[in-house]
């Protein structure tokens, strides 16, 4: 199983009831990884992963993968000098070169990183790709720690993708065809993720 999978091998085997026990183990593992990756695309990272991005200066920084678990490093390069910023702590005197993470408690993708200078919010220095942001994106430290709602969503998708009559994963030659079977993978996500994780789906073009 892959590091970023939402389900463990045991959970996948138990949840996807009815799957042929003679199915090669790597087949189920590949499908779990595929399902996990697609859920990531729709709602943002579930299992934590390290991300490195470069941003233009000015205004605020908006991380491209959300939600954000923590910021590892944030640096500014002006061509001659490298400046490292330190995260401010509420209630403690602000850093001269600091930053603060603003993340909505109701919508996980509303995240911005504000530059702080001795307790005052200011714009980031201007420039093209002058800021290097290294952070951890995701909701759970490990696969085992993933919340039940994400695990159940992944398990339900697996159940819908398994064709009991043919004892195989439902798929077609043309994933963009008009027949129901060839579009089963996409249709499973359309209904299941919207129903179970609709409040956390990412904004179009941001995933």
Task: Please give the average per-residue pLDDT across 161-177, as a whole number.
Answer: 56
pTM here? 0.84
What confidence tens digit (pLDDT) does each residue in 119-156 have?
899 999 999 999 999 999 999 999 999 999 999 999 98
Give the model's pLDDT for residue 17. Answer: 61
- Residue written as token pair 């499973």: 188
Looking at residue 176, its pLDDT comes to: 47
Domain boundaries, the chain: 9-46+142-199, 49-137
- What pLDDT is stored for residue 12 in this prediction? 85
């Amino acid at each position: 199983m892959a590091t970023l999978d939402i389900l463990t091998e045991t959970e996948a085997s138990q949840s996807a009831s009815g799957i042929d026990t003679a199915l090669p183990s790597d087949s189920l593992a590949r499908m779990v990884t595929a399902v996990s990756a697609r859920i990531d695309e729709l709602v943002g990272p579930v299992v934590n992963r390290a991300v490195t991005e470069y941003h233009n200066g000015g205004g605020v920084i908006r991380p491209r993968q959300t939600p954000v678990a923590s910021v590892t490093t944030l640096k500014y390069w002006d061509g001659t000098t490298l400046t490292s910023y330190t995260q401010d702590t509420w209630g403690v005197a602000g850093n001269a070169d600091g930053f603060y993470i603003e993340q909505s408690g109701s919508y996980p993708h509303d995240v911005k990183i504000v530059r702080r200078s001795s307790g005052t919010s200011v714009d980031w220095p201007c420039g093209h790709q002058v800021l290097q942001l290294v952070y951890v994106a995701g909701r759970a430290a490990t696969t085992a720690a993933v919340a039940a709602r994400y695990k159940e969503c992944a398990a339900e998708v697996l159940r819908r993708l398994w064709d009991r009559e043919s004892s195989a994963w439902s798929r077609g030659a043309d994933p963009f065809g008009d027949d129901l079977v060839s579009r089963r993978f996409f249709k499973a996500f359309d209904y299941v993720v919207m129903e179970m994780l609709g409040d956390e789906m990412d904004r179009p073009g941001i995933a």
